[in-house]
Amino acid sequence: MEEKNSSKISFLLKDITDLNAEFAITGIGGSEAMYKRVLDMVIGMLPTNIAEMDKFLKEEDNLGDFTIRVHGVKSSLRQVGCYRLGDLADALEKAGKANDRQYCDMNYGAFREEVLRFYEQVNSVLRNMGNKAGSCETPSGDINDYIDVLTRVKEAAMGYDSILAMKRLSPVLKFHFSVDIDELLKKAATEFEAYRPRKGLVHITELLNKYQKLSQLQGKDGLK
Amino acid sequence: MSIDSKKILVVDDDSANLTLIDGILSSLYKVYPIDSGEDALEFLEIQRPDLILLDVEMPGMSGTELFRIIKSNPDLSHIPIIFLTGLSDVESEADAFRLGVSDYIRKPINDVIMLARVKMHLEFSAHRKS
């Protein structure tokens, strides 16, 4: 199903002149689905990366952090096949490393504009492809079932296994519980998706405490 | 393909890269993606990976700093470490080998190169142990 939905991505992106999606897809084994997943993440992170580059460049004596962020953007752009903008980032990175603030100040604005244009173009294609919207079903089953699921998520997170934690958490995400619980679930999922298992663990532990209290209020057994 | 019991720790601040590497390796190995050097050190307190793929340029603790810490720990120093880097100059590559890395993989990541290097170093490490 996933393969079918994303199978046209190289075709849909073909008019974006700065993007050689086909070449990038070949470099990761020809999987359009994997490419789309990576592209979604790269595009999703660009606004944050731009905001950070803006902030770091404005700060006095912080060319180092600016350079590290530019380096990350360069790698991401090249990974998805955006080589020309990757080269512009490379020039900024080299200038940053050489402590050439003048070059960075003079050229960052034009680079930023091009990256934003690229972001808009790709984001528009991704939006039109219809990224799945999460449904909001009402939870069913015993509260102890959720405690059991979250306990297994917690075990995975304690073993630093973000992927397993996310896999175990996913079935619960489609349900709507309450605003605070939904928020915690979302936060935990965000951390696991960003491969930060310890931060995800904090939210899962808080969720488990809430469920335990709920379970006790309902007069049922909580966690051992 | 069956999953090998070998564990690979991947440290990179870019979650898109972690997703990609997991996508390339997870059908063969157990992959642990971690987004910072600090969290990787905590991971190493409870797990012993067979190989580490380590991004060089990261905010906070850099790959080079993490490499030095791992190699100065007798319990961890045997683990082969491959640097991942978007740096394309020869001098950076030479610096990495002078530092003592097992190998060096350039970004953009290519699946064939990554699979071949990982397999080679795991086999090399297994031979050394035996």
Instruction: Compare all CA atoms of chain A with the CA of B13 and give the residue at the minimum distance.
Output: A72
The number of beta carbons lying within 10 Å of the beta carbon of residue B27 is 13
Q: What confidence score (pLDDT) does residue A222 get?
A: 42
Bridge partner list, A71? none
Residues of B in contact with A161 (CB under 8 A): 32
Residues of B in contact with A20 (CB under 8 A): none
pLDDT tens-digit profile, chain A (224 residues) = 444 544 578 889 999 999 999 999 999 999 999 999 999 999 989 999 999 999 999 998 899 999 999 999 999 999 999 999 999 999 999 999 999 999 999 999 999 999 999 999 999 998 888 644 444 455 566 778 888 899 999 999 999 999 999 999 998 888 777 778 888 999 999 999 999 999 999 999 999 988 887 777 766 444 44
Q: What confidence score (pLDDT) does residue A7 get?
A: 55
- Interface with chain A: mutation pick from B7, B20, B30, B41, highest number of A CBs within 10 Å: B20
Handedness of CA A28, A33, A39, A44 (dihedral sign): negative
**How many residues comprise chain B?**
130
Apex A184 CA angle, A180 and A185, nearest 5 = 115
The number of beta carbons lying within 10 Å of the beta carbon of residue A179 is 8
Cβ within 8 Å, pair A194-B35? yes
pTM of the model: 0.84
- The token duo for A42 is 């790269």
CA dihedral A167, A168, A173, A176 (to 10 degrees): 170
Residues of B in contact with A65 (CB under 8 A): 59
Show the low-confidence residues of chain B (pLDDT under 70): 1-4
Bridge partner list, A150? none
ipTM, two decimals, is 0.84
Min CA distance, B5 vs chain A (Å)?
15
* First-last CA distance in chain A: 40
